[in-house]
Amino acid sequence: MSQKTEKLIDKKGLRIDGRKPDELRPIKIEVGVLSNADGSAYIEQGKNKILAAVYGPKELHPKHLALPDRMVLRCRYHMAPFSVQERKSPAPSRREIELSKVIREAIEPAVFVEYYPRTAVDIFIEVLQADGSTRCTSITAASLALADAGIPMRDLVAACSAGKVEDMIVLDLNDVEDKVGTADVPVAYMPNLGVITLLQMDGILTSEEFEKAVNLAIEGCMKIYAMQREALKAKYVSVKEVEE
Amino acid sequence: MSQKTEKLIDKKGLRIDGRKPDELRPIKIEVGVLSNADGSAYIEQGKNKILAAVYGPKELHPKHLALPDRMVLRCRYHMAPFSVQERKSPAPSRREIELSKVIREAIEPAVFVEYYPRTAVDIFIEVLQADGSTRCTSITAASLALADAGIPMRDLVAACSAGKVEDMIVLDLNDVEDKVGTADVPVAYMPNLGVITLLQMDGILTSEEFEKAVNLAIEGCMKIYAMQREALKAKYVSVKEVEE
Amino acid sequence: MSQKTEKLIDKKGLRIDGRKPDELRPIKIEVGVLSNADGSAYIEQGKNKILAAVYGPKELHPKHLALPDRMVLRCRYHMAPFSVQERKSPAPSRREIELSKVIREAIEPAVFVEYYPRTAVDIFIEVLQADGSTRCTSITAASLALADAGIPMRDLVAACSAGKVEDMIVLDLNDVEDKVGTADVPVAYMPNLGVITLLQMDGILTSEEFEKAVNLAIEGCMKIYAMQREALKAKYVSVKEVEE
Amino acid sequence: MTAATTVVRVKQKQIAQLIAKGKRLDGRGLTDYREIKIEQGIIERAEGSAKVLLGKTEVMVGVKIETGEPFPDTPNEGVLTVNAELVPLASPTFEPGPPDENSIELARVVDRGIRESKAIDLEKLCITPGKKVFVIFVDIYVLNHDGNLIDASALAAMTALLNTKMFNYEVENGEVKIKPGYTPLPVRRHPVAVTFAKINDRLVVDPWLEEEQIMDARLTITTDDDGNICAVQKGGSGCFTPKQVFEAVQIAKEKAAEIRKKLGW
Amino acid sequence: MTAATTVVRVKQKQIAQLIAKGKRLDGRGLTDYREIKIEQGIIERAEGSAKVLLGKTEVMVGVKIETGEPFPDTPNEGVLTVNAELVPLASPTFEPGPPDENSIELARVVDRGIRESKAIDLEKLCITPGKKVFVIFVDIYVLNHDGNLIDASALAAMTALLNTKMFNYEVENGEVKIKPGYTPLPVRRHPVAVTFAKINDRLVVDPWLEEEQIMDARLTITTDDDGNICAVQKGGSGCFTPKQVFEAVQIAKEKAAEIRKKLGW
Amino acid sequence: MTAATTVVRVKQKQIAQLIAKGKRLDGRGLTDYREIKIEQGIIERAEGSAKVLLGKTEVMVGVKIETGEPFPDTPNEGVLTVNAELVPLASPTFEPGPPDENSIELARVVDRGIRESKAIDLEKLCITPGKKVFVIFVDIYVLNHDGNLIDASALAAMTALLNTKMFNYEVENGEVKIKPGYTPLPVRRHPVAVTFAKINDRLVVDPWLEEEQIMDARLTITTDDDGNICAVQKGGSGCFTPKQVFEAVQIAKEKAAEIRKKLGW
């Protein structure tokens, strides 16, 4: 993260997009949006626009990759060429390969993988527009797509980032805050079980700041979790936090 | 197709290589030219020099790709690095991948694919020198190679292009006419059945011109078809249309 | 090999690193250096630093590649990005692919491949630092790694280069001699059987010079062979030829 | 591609028999399109964008503009690049990986329609002749595959190009300086692709997925605003009589005119 | 990844049960590292190099320096590139071929530790702003995999960077002229990665291979000389409670300080 | 590569037994080449071309000339690039795809013969030292594989180089201007590769496919016009005694001289 001279927090303590430090961006969730996939979800979080689809459980080819006692969960995080400022080549980047791995590992703890031995479940995530913290928004969507597909799960996984922007710990970094801020802490959380399933950090934080950021991100996850559950019931939900 | 200022039709209505509008380029055909392939054919049409070989029917690996009720017909159209003005990289281009598909789909209607279930037949086409309308010349050769391999067929497929060059609908475009002309219409045809198996077009034509071009191309196919049959009998034939 | 103006042989007939024409570079050999591999060896020859590991015999995937009457011997010669002056891309170069083939073919004559039908044995060679004649040093190491893995062998394979440097036939070319010299003749040899298993040459030699170079390289192989046997017993040996 | 189950076979038979009678399982006439829904400008990060719903087929297109070098044989023209991705989210038959023959064919057919109709005035995209031009990336992204990807993609591509905004600029010492404001991309023609499936020797327009699975062959006719043909592509392992082809041309002209009218093109 | 044999299962059970009691099969305490052996400067052809042995895990790192272009958004900074190869010599589970998700994750976690702690003064590696900078290639080469590749690789990378020598140079008409002598790379921070495995709901530091095979999840905390956190990475298909995470942070700070002290950093 | 059928085995045994008696199944003596037929200049689009028939083995070579940058260590020399494709048309054992070890070895052995004999005066192909030189692409295209691809390819490559015509040019402000007329490529040496198979401990020259399938090992000796050796390559999973190698060298010199004489080189 490189430091630049932009002013990210104004005199009132509000952020570049007018949010309070602990405020989420507006979120829209829709479940079951694709007719071909076994499960799907579409989410907008700020200007993030992300689709997740689930196919499976299904047979695995070649067969020697199948596991005798559990399903194989696979995940592909992919960005559309037009999702970012400079056109992205369609070939998967190193970043996309790493994120596919950590997202899969963030979701796998929630899935009863032993229910469908010898099968595969594929999670496909397409970032149509990227606006910071896409890995969190992707996990939130992927988790809903799995539930929509009827894959048995211990809990939904909700994900949200926190970070440090100009000496302030803030929730749910947008693109500018992610790039120009001091630190970024993406977290995925299973509220019912009280456990963290994704945790990364880059930047510089004291351990106190880190603890604060993780706890703030978990609070964000709790709010998102409520929306996820709402969306599963309603198949569609749109929330913008109002001034309290 | 970009318009340039070259003069493609002279005052007598003759084309850049002296041909009349409805005249084919000189054609040489030789069948059974390669000792390893199960069937093969070599064709020269103008400066096009093209080899086609057929291998099969044979086992398919991996086996789960085999079809229970028919053979799998595969086709690879490939250009030698030295076949064109600027050296072509040996890796298959997007154009070569598309042409491999449309050529396969032009030939498949002629083949009794159900005679050899669970097998594969490979058609390999190598363009040694390219001089316009190579996809048509390739189909003409591939069809002969299949016949030479003894693959059961409904009919031979003959192919020929027509196009528009300076307001005139002409037969069998050469390289310059293809690049500088107004439109190109490659057609593959099964004369006995009276059906078109390949049809593409790029450029600009009124529907009347298009109809005229397709009909002219079919006439070309009929002439080439006669040569194909001759070549299968003689294993070698060379034809240059003479002034009538 | 390009001719440059550096002086490679001094007035006393000594080489750029002080060696006599028929003198090997200092050699250190250690066998059984890696805990995961079934067999391994590390060798330093001059500034060459090379690791070889053997895995197998083991099952082959996909199974249709297995041979009913013998093992499949595979070999990968690979250079670390930092092993040469200009950083080498990690993707295998054409040179590495050729060397993997000739090294495999240099070692295969020594292996009783028929003892383990339907299996595979992998030889992995990593050049950590390259200083000329790496293919020979690699063969010497790979042969020890095979022995360390308990793969049944007719004989050890020892390898050494000879070449022509400023009108003199010399043993065991280093990097500078390899690049600036007139010719390079890498040889692999099985002393007990008296046969050559690798032979290449590039440069220009009369047939008399070539014969002399091959014979000198075989002498080098004999010396290295003695060290190999010593190393198998001692698991570690370090030899620098002393002035006689 | 895999063996169809019995239930599927029964449905396929039904679809084919209905078509022989001039009817379709979803109630459409043989030359009717499914409902077309278009959204545009939905990807703010892209210079142009559109999403087309053709029944349940869903295609998104994003347009990005960069600067680059012209092709040596057209030094005064910008570069148009059309790319298509059949992302695995859109269909159980799509696989991750580099573009296969289907996505390449899709991109090239859409590309030819735009290019051959000279829909974009590429000469207006030249910055410094022979050195620097604008490169227009048209990225087709199939989100749900329910048949007739070509027509949906061609519509989405043209819609995205029509709402594409280019930043204003001036050239100073060979460098492009961005100036305030935007101008639309110089789009002057509106090619429309109309695709037919041949089933039971009849032609149907805008085949949906289940029709495509049983069709003998496919034919796409792209026409421009004047009813001229600018691109044709036959696909599939079957054939057409010349009569069927010429009949398709007439229908394609009519359907394209209808669509152009509906979209105000 | 394949089904473990009975013998292996028994051993795995034993490892897990011991850890529940606060013990480890190899006699270490839960927060003890294996023996660390470091060699440096061993690859003369490289500008910097190191080999780290962490128990039987063996990682080599070579540093090469070339000139190249800066990234557009940091025109005044040199470029740091970290790459990792899991060469098949190092483990029966590694395959030849392009980098897979494991080697990419390894490289990126090590990269983030160095980059986010600003360990290298990249501004000192600029030759001509916006045009020419030094590019530092850090190549991680795993030679034997016995667990905890991240910590071993991060240690080897920092050791190699610390012994990296850059040739002296001057710029003449935009061309770099080499001058006699060498200067060390401007390294100013010493990030240390400390990795935990969660087994039987307990955290163990520096897991060896057999512990990794039964761990639920992995957590790496990288801290800088001041005890600030500069990179975190959770791996594996399990989870951590927030309490475990915060506990790990404290242990990581202590272990990193110990290592830094031992190495004289 | 697959298990040979009984009929094939019987034939293989016969071939081997005949060779032990100094005879070959096709009637040749052990050191006889098959009939060599050469066509040249057959690809008008290429600057040079040739087709060689060695019995039923058929190899085409095309030479293309482009301009490019020299290698940093030879700034005054043009660049020679030899590439070989074993297209699947030529043999049931060839597969489509990127070059495998066999095509790479073939290209590199032919390349070394031309390069090490200094057959082409690369210094005459320099346009602007260090900046711009001619790049000679020699593309080997195997059309039918009936054994001994190396010798056929080397012959075709040299024939194609010998009939290669370069356009005349002058350099104006660093740009190459084409002038009327052509000059031949500066070829000054005529390396010839002679390949041996070892079967039943005997050496045979110019093995055909069925001999290659049973040979223990392969040896190629390339010599120049003066009988000097300029490239050697042992192939195959067998071995040679030193005596066999030196014997092969003498035969190779004789056979190469014969071929050079026959071709008027």
Q: Quick check: D233 contacting B, CB < 8 Å?
A: yes
Q: Which residue of C has its CA nearest to F72?
A: C86
Q: What is the mean pLDDT of chain E?
A: 95
Nearest to C205 among F228, F237, F245 (CB): F228
Amino acid A238: pLDDT:
76
Give the closest of E228, E245, E253 to A196, CB-based: E245
In terms of C-beta density within 10 A (0-12 exposed, 13-18 middle, 19 or more buried), how is residue A46 classed?
buried
Distance from CA of A156 to the nearest CA of E (A): 14
3-state secondary structure of C58: strand
The pLDDT score that the predictor gives to residue E2 is: 47
Q: Count up the domains in chain C and report the number.
A: 1
- The whole domain housing B163 covers 27-243
Banded model confidence at residue D7, pLDDT cuts 50, 70, 90: confident
What pLDDT is attached to residue C2?
Answer: 44
Does C48 reside within a domain? Answer: yes
Q: What is the pLDDT of residues E180-239, one digit of tens each?
A: 999 999 999 999 999 999 999 999 999 999 999 999 999 999 999 999 999 999 999 999
Sorting pLDDT into bands at 50, 70 and 90, what band is C3?
Answer: very low
What does residue C59 show for φ and ψ, rounded to 5 degrees?
Answer: -65, 155
How high is the pLDDT of residue F20?
Answer: 92
Helix (H, G, I), strand (E, B) or coil at C127: strand
Q: What is the pLDDT of residue E170?
A: 87
- Chain A interface includes E36 (CB < 8 A): no
In this complex, the chains that touch D, judged by 3 or more CB pairs closer than 8 A, are A, B
Q: Which residue has the tokens 């440097």?
A: C165
Q: Would you say residue A16 lies in a domain? A: no
Sign of CA dihedral A225, A229, A232, A237: negative
Closest Cβ–Cβ partner in D49, D63, D87 for A126: D87
Tell me the chain E residues in contact with residue C35 when contact means C-beta distances shorter than 8 Å: 56, 144, 146
Across the interface, whether the CB atoms of C207 and F240 are under 8 A apart is answered: no
Nearest to D101 among B1, B100, B200 (CB): B100
Distances (CA, A) of A104 to A98, A110, E244: 10, 10, 21
**Alpha-carbon distances of F86 from A10, A45, B80, B89, D83, rounded to whole Å:** 67, 53, 11, 15, 31
Cβ-Cβ contacts under 8 Å between A and E: the total is 103
pLDDT at E133: 95
Out of D44, D62, D144, closest to residue A34 by CB = D144
Question: Which residues of F fall within a CB distance of 8 Å from B17?
Answer: none
Find chains touching chain C: ≥3 CB pairs under 8 Å. E, F
Cα distance between residue E99 and residue E101, in whole Å = 7
- Which residues in chain E touch residue A100, judged by CB atoms under 8 angstroms apart? 101
Does the beta-carbon distance from C55 to E92 stay under 8 Å?
Answer: yes
Q: Under a CB-based contact definition with an 8 Å cutoff, are residues F94 and F86 in contact?
A: yes
Residue B173 lies in a domain: yes
* Of B213, B25, B224, B58, residue with least CA distance to B142: B224
Q: How far is D27 from chain B (nearest CA, A)?
A: 30
Considering the domain boundaries, does residue D121 fall inside one?
Answer: yes
Rounded CA separation C213/C204 (Å): 12
Q: Is E155 within a domain?
A: yes
| β-strand partners of F136 | F65, F80
Q: Are E239 and A207 in contact (CB < 8 Å)?
A: no
Which chain E residues touch A206 with a CB distance below 8 Å? Answer: 227-229
Cβ pair A199:E227 closer than 8 A: no
The CATH number of residue B189's host domain is 3.30.230.70
Domain that holds residue E124: 27-263
Q: How far is E21 from chain A (nearest CA, A)?
A: 23
A83 occurs within a structural domain:
yes
F177 or C52: which leads in pLDDT: C52
- Is residue D18 domain-resident? no
Average pLDDT over residues D126-148: 96
Judged by CB atoms closer than 8 Å, whether chains meet at F144 and B130 is answered as: no
pLDDT digits (tens, 9 = 90+) for F180-192: 999 999 999 999 9
Among B159, B117, B126, which residue's Cα sits nearest to residue B37? B126
Residue of B nearest to F61 (CA): B82
For residues E150 and E158, what is the distance between their CA atoms, to the nearest angstrom? 12
Angstroms from B212 CA to nearest CA on chain F? 32
Strands (E), chain E: 36-40, 48-54, 57-68, 79-85, 126-128, 132-144, 165-172, 175-184, 192-199, 202-205, 217-223, 229-235
The label of the residue with tokens 């010396």 reads: C223
* Nearest chain A Cα distance for residue D29, angstroms: 23
Chain F residues within 8 A of C104 when measuring between CB atoms: 237
What CA–CA distance (Å, rounded) separates E240 from E244? 6
Mean pLDDT over E29-58 rounds to 97
Indicate the average pLDDT of chain F: 95
Domain count, chain E: 1
Backbone angles phi, psi at E26, to 5 degrees: -90, 15
Confidence of residue C241 (pLDDT cuts 50, 70, 90): low
Q: What is the mean pLDDT of the segment spanning E20-42?
A: 96
- Are A139 and A188 a contacting pair, CB within 8 Å? yes
Contact state of D230 with B204 under an 8 Å Cβ cutoff: yes
Residue C57 CB: number of other CB atoms within 10 A? 21
How many whole angstroms separate alpha carbon E254 and alpha carbon F124?
67
Is B125 within the bounds of a domain?
Answer: yes
- Contact state of B34 with F92 under an 8 Å Cβ cutoff: no
Q: Would you say A136 and A101 are in contact if contact means Cβ atoms under 8 Å apart?
A: no
Residue A2 lies in a domain: no
Q: Which has the minimum average pLDDT: A68-82, B24-38, C61-75?
A: C61-75
Query: In chain F, whose CA is at the least distance from the CA of C187?
Result: F234
Question: What would the DSSP string read from start to end of chain A?
Answer: ----S---B-TTS-BTTS--TTPPPPEEEEES--SSSSEEEEEEETTEEEEEEEEEEEE-SSGGGSBTTBPEEEEEEEE-TTSSSSPPPSSPPHHHHHHHHHHHHHHGGGB-GGGSTTEEEEEEEEEEE--S-HHHHHHHHHHHHHHHTT--BSS--EEEEEEEETTEEEES--HHHHHHSSEEEEEEEETTTTEEEEEEEEEEE-HHHHHHHHHHHHHHHHHHHHHHHHHHHHSEEEE-PPP-
Assigned domain for A190 exists? yes
- Distance, in Å, from the CA atom of E195 to the CA atom of E240, rounded to the nearest integer, reads 14
Tell me, what CATH number does D193's domain have? 3.30.230.70
Contact E253 A218 (CB under 8 A): no
| Burial of A20: CB neighbours in 10 Å, binned 0-12, 13-18, 19+ | middle
Residue D51 lies in a domain: yes
Q: How large a percentage of chain D has pLDDT more than 70? A: 98
pTM of the complete model beyond 0.80: yes
Q: What is the DSSP letter of F123?
A: G
Q: What is the dihedral of CA E109, E110, E111, E112, to 10 degrees?
A: 50
Question: What pLDDT is attached to residue E200?
Answer: 94
Give the mean model confidence (pLDDT) for residues F31-53: 97
* Residue type (1 letter), D217: A
Question: In a 3-state reduction of DSSP, which class is residue E22?
Answer: coil
Decide if pLDDT at B237 tops 90. Answer: no
Contact between F62 and B82 using a beta-carbon 8 Å cutoff: yes
Contact D60 A128 (CB under 8 A): yes
Looking at per-residue confidence, does E178 or B4 come out higher? E178
Nearest residue of E to residue A180, measured between CA atoms: E73
pLDDT tens figures, B87-105:
999 999 999 999 999 999 9
- In a 13 Å sphere around the CA of C221, the CA atoms on its Cβ side amount to 33
Q: Is E51 touching A (CB cutoff 8 A)?
A: no
Residues C171 and C194: their CA atoms lie apart, in Å, by 19
Residues of A with CB under 8 A from a CB of D: 34-37, 40, 47, 49, 51-53, 55, 58, 76, 78, 80-87, 90-91, 122, 124-126, 128-130
* Residue C151 backbone class (left: φ over 0; alpha: ψ -120 to 50; beta: rest): beta
Classified as helix, coil or strand, C57 is strand
- Segment D196-214 mean pLDDT: 97
Q: How many CB atoms lie within 10 A of CB E26?
A: 13
- Are the Cβ atoms of E89 and C87 closer than 8 angstroms? no
Neighbouring residues of C215: CB distance < 8 A, sequence distance ≥ 6: F242
E188 Cβ contact list (under 8 Å, min separation 6)? E118, E119, E120, E121
Whether F229 and C211 lie within 8 Å, measured CB to CB: no
Is the Cβ–Cβ distance between D127 and D178 less than 8 Å? no
F236 DSSP 8-state letter: S
**How many whole angstroms separate alpha carbon D250 and alpha carbon D221?**
10
The residue in chain F having the minimum alpha-carbon distance to the alpha carbon of residue B85 is F45
**Distance (Å, whole) CA A214 – CA A219:** 9
Confidence label for D8 from pLDDT (cuts 50, 70 and 90): confident
Do β-strands B39-45 and B27-31 pair in parallel, antiparallel, or remain unpaired?
Answer: antiparallel
Mean pLDDT, to the nearest integer, of D220-247?
98
- Asked whether residue F22 is assigned to any structural domain, the reply reads no
Q: Can you tell me which residue has the tokens 């956190």?
A: E229
Residue E175: what pLDDT? 80
Distance from the Cα of D55 to chain A's closest Cα (Å) equals 11
- Cβ of F141 within 8 Å of Cβ of B34? The answer is no
- Across B178-201, average pLDDT: 96
Residues B112, B154: contact at Cβ < 8 Å?
yes
Does residue B38 sit within a domain? yes
Cα separations (Å) of E265 from A205, E42, E183, E205, E261? 21, 20, 19, 21, 6
Q: Do C126 and E137 touch (CB under 8 A)?
A: no
- For chain A, residues with pLDDT lower than 50 are 1-4, 243-244
E73-93 as b/e: b if 16+ CB within 10 A = eeeebbbbebbbbbbbbbbee
pLDDT tens sequence across C95-154: 999 999 999 999 999 999 999 999 999 999 999 999 999 999 999 999 999 999 999 999
Q: Kindly calculate the radius of gyration of chain D based on its CA atoms and give it in whole angstroms.
A: 20
Residue A109 near residue A195, CB atoms below 8 Å: yes
Q: Which two tokens stand for residue E225?
A: 């000389």
